[in-house]
A = this chain, B = another copy of it.
Amino acid sequence: MPISLGELAERFGCELIGDPDVIIDHVGSLSNAGPGALSFLSSSKFKKQLSSTKAAAVILRAADAKDATTAVLIDDNPYACYARMAAIICPAPTMTPGVHPSAVVSATANVADTAHIAANAVVEDNATIGENSYIGPGAVVGPNCVIGNNCRLNANVTFVRDVTIGDRCIFHSGSVVGADGFGNAMTEEGWVKVPQLGGVRVGDDVEIGSNTTIDCGAIDDTVIENGVRLDNLIQIGHNVHVGEHTAMATACAIAGSARIGKRCMFAGMVGMAGHIEVCDDVVVNGKGMISKSITEPGAYASNFPIEPVRDWNRRVAQFRRLDKLMDRVSALENKAK
């Protein structure tokens, strides 16, 4: 939706340096933007691109304004300001309410008139779909699920059963919510399946990535609080509890009954053992292994960056001779006494 720089500045409370009548009709990265595009500078690292960008205007911090060669919108948090403006300039496609003739909706389901059930989607018994919510092509909403208002379940999402989500949630394609947790009891005849009887409860404003899996609880529910963001291909085990505004990047795996606090940030490929806790405001670097509870906020790590194979193999060999090295040092100490 085209909008003038002046109106953007006024709506979002930014200072504008430049012509308020210039019309913005799309967004662009600093390097590829053209006339009519709004761009942003969120990190001074990319400041040198300010001199060459062809964007119509750039959102940036006051300290970076002097380096700009374009109109600027000044904001303390340029990335968030960009996010909000982009949502106005490039609104999501409008959705036509109604149930596609090829969709299958149970007679006992309760679908709001303003909801959209897309082609070949399935809504099973006693499921509820809220106002303005979208169930994409091939998506399945299982028995007793409750979808709030203004939610999106994109194509081929599966809610297995007994999943309750709040308002304004987004689930990306291929995500699976409410499948059985991994509960098995060993016996002399092999594994016995432990019935997985709990559900999944998800708050408001949650976004879940493609092919991410969130298992139902074994007895009580698995819980995802308000504002949580999970990237693609993440595993959330049964009875995990994820606190408000916690975000995880791709391929994290959280084992059953783990409890994660609020505002945590896990980089990609972090693993967390079951039945332990991470307190609020914990950051874990990529590939970190959380094997004990963390009680102090802060940043944690356990990953080794790659090195050329020859160097790496030498280091591993040295690592394996550490006990001998310690013995040699002890021997030297004894001699030196």
Q: How many residues of A contact B (CB 8 A)?
A: 126
Question: Quick check: B323 and A318 within 8 Å, CB to CB?
Answer: yes
| Closest-CB distance, A197 to chain B (whole angstroms) | 5
Residues of B within 8 A of A62 (CB): none
Question: Quick check: A305 and B286 within 8 Å, CB to CB?
Answer: no
Question: Quick check: B179 and A232 within 8 Å, CB to CB?
Answer: yes
Residue A336 at the B interface, CB < 8 A?
yes
Q: With A90-B195, A255-B268, A316-B304 known to touch, is A154 a contact of B179 (CB < 8 Å)? A: yes
Residue A173 at the B interface, CB < 8 A?
yes
Q: Provide the A252-281 mask, 1 if CB < 8 A to any CB of B, else 0.
A: 010100000000000011010100000000
A138 to B95, CA, bound (A): 22
- CB-nearest residue of chain B to A143: B93
Question: Quick check: A173 and B160 within 8 Å, CB to CB?
Answer: yes
| Closest-CB distance, A230 to chain B (whole angstroms) | 9
Question: Quick check: B229 and A253 within 8 Å, CB to CB?
Answer: no
Question: Quick check: A155 and B302 within 8 Å, CB to CB?
Answer: no
Question: Quick check: A229 and B299 within 8 Å, CB to CB?
Answer: no
List 27 A-B residue pairs with CB atoms under 8 Å apart, sorted by A's residue number.
A28-B219, A77-B185, A80-B186, A80-B192, A90-B195, A136-B140, A140-B156, A155-B158, A156-B158, A156-B176, A158-B173, A179-B210, A191-B205, A193-B207, A211-B233, A235-B250, A253-B269, A287-B289, A288-B306, A289-B303, A299-B309, A300-B308, A302-B306, A315-B320, A315-B322, A325-B325, A335-B336
Binding site for B on A (CB under 8 A): 27-29, 32, 77, 79-80, 82-84, 86-87, 90, 92-93, 100, 102, 104, 118-120, 122, 124, 136-138, 140, 142-143, 154-156, 158, 160, 170, 172-174, 176, 179-180, 182-187, 190-195, 197, 205, 207, 209-211, 213, 215, 218-220, 226-227, 229, 231-233, 235, 237, 244-245, 247, 249-251, 253, 255, 268-269, 271, 273, 284-292, 294, 296, 298-309, 312-316, 318-323, 325-326, 328-329, 332-333, 335-336
